[in-house]
Structure 1
Amino acid sequence: MPNDKDDVLAPEAIAAHLAALPGWTEADGWITRTYRTNSWKGTLMVINTVGHLAEAAWHHPDLTASYAWVEVRLTTHSAKGLTEKDFALAKKIEEVVGWQPGLEGGALEGTPTDPRFAYIKHDR
């Protein structure tokens, strides 16, 4: 039985998905996003977050990391290209890693502005 979520997307569909994911780019059958962090601690927090989401989704990215950045790369290996799975996971990663509760108001105030506590450099 065919599985639509594993069908390789047409270029137009890829472009439409990317329009909704600022910061993500496409090249050579992969979508990629680099998250800038303030330190190794922040880098590990991003890696662990992406790892948790990927494992829960059973769809696993390639990660490259250094002291103050993490690159996330997604493709569907079994389909040999980009599928709905890649964009669904990218969207969830973006929602969680990019979450800034201090901007929402409410009980959760967000990370203090003190650099000792900063961990990710938000581009919004």
Structure 2
Amino acid sequence: MAETLGDGAIAARLTELSGWERSGDEIVRTVTAPSFPEAIAVVDEVAQPAEKADHHPDIDIRWRTLRFALTTHSAGGLTARDFDLAEQIDQITVRRNAT
């Protein structure tokens, strides 16, 4: 099982990410895609690394707006796995022009 990160480590990792914020035991980010089909394409692309890592974000879709939330439920908090997937989500959203 992955180890949870302390507050200092979480704060440090957040400085490495674009637009992510801590909300309790989650990190969250909201982006807006150019269109609804593009928002769905972002979700579809995020599914690939999430499935590969067996670590799945909570995703809320509201038209072109996507909200991603990450936490490691099995560890009871934030772990390196959350930040690793957040980095991959960032790469996907940049490539898909979701800001």
TM-score (norm 1): 0.75
Structure 2 letter corresponding to 1:33: R
From 15, 18, 27, the counterpart of 2:14: 18
Matched, 1:94 2:71: no
Which sections of structure 2, spanning at least 5 residues, go unmatched? Answer: none
**How far apart are 1:97 and its partner, in Å?**
2.2
Task: Give identity over the alignment, percent.
Answer: 36
RMSD: 1.3
**Greater RCO (Cα-Cα under 8 Å, separation 6 or more):** 2
| 51-60 or 8-17, which deviates more | 51-60
Moved more, 13-22 or 49-58: 49-58
Larger radius of gyration: 1
Structure 1: tracts of 5 or more residues without a match: 100-118
Matching residue's letter, 1:120: N
1:42 aligns with 2:38: yes
Query: What is the SS of the residue equivalent to 2:4?
Result: coil
Q: How many residues align?
A: 99
Matched to 1:40, the amino acid is F
Deviation at 1:70, TM superposition (A): 0.7
Task: Please tell me whether residue 80 in structure 1 is matched to residue 76 in structure 2.
Answer: yes
TM-score (norm 2): 0.92
